[in-house]
Amino acid sequence: MIKKFAVIVFPGSNCDHDAYHVLKNIFNINVEFVWHMDTNLNAFDAILIPGGFSYGDYLRTGAIARFSPIMNEVVKSANKGKPVIGICNGFQILLEAGLLPGSLINNKNIKFLSKTVDLSTVTSNSIFTQKIQKDNVISMPIAHKEGNYIADKSTLEELEENDQIIFKYVNNPNGSMNDIAGIVNKKRNVLGMMPHPERACNNILGSDDGKLIFESMLEV
């Protein structure tokens, strides 16, 4: 059972406070910020890597953050089975760290996209979607320039065959292969997704569908 969440903070993170607010004030979960230079995550039951522009997105998104000391602990924690969710820039960092397959490149129109999108829930067979029925459509914002998911043919086939694709765009905004918006690893404890569930946890923001993802995780 998840009793304590870590929200990792890199230079350039800007969605860390959004995630903290949701976990603490909406779900009443014990949560702490963890600076990227820290080297211990033993006290935490789950890890969230938030969106933003870690290290200013220099080189490429997530490429420098992947080498921050805390990422060694994130990888160790993931390999031990702890739930890890990476949102937007967090997804990019998880890919760079090798915790998820594939890559993210510039959107097909080479523009930053900030809009609400609809996502089809591809599977309920994950700790992140166990409270969402398969094929249910949920809505939440995206805010990215490099959200175009790509992978080679064998990787895409493996993701489909292993039921590792969690969310697909209903109307693909960025050109992602197979309409992919979120995937999990083979052990199914690491989720990377470009849309922002933490920005969709209150109807005053236009949707509270993001709550379903966190509610699913908190049942672990």
Q: Which residues are catalytic?
A: 88, 196, 198
Strands laid side by side in the 113-121 sheet: 30-35, 4-9, 46-49, 84-87, 190-193, 180-184, 165-169, 113-121, 137-144
How many Å apart are CA 216 and CA 70, to the nearest integer?
25
Q: Give Cα separations from 162 to 82, 122, 129, 177, 182 (angstroms).
A: 20, 12, 16, 17, 14
CB 35 within 8 A of CB 2: no
Q: Please give the DSSP secondary-structure letter assigned to residue 37.
A: T
Name the pairing type of β-strands 190-193 and 84-87: parallel
196-216 exposure pattern, b = at least 16 Cβ within 10 A, e = fewer: bbbbbbeeeeebbbbbbbbeb
Residue 28 · residue 54 · CB < 8 Å: no
Question: Residue 162 in 3-state DSSP?
Answer: coil
For the record, the structure tokens of 196 come out as 């922002």
Report the candidate in 168, 11, 6 with the shortest Cα–Cα distance to residue 85. 6
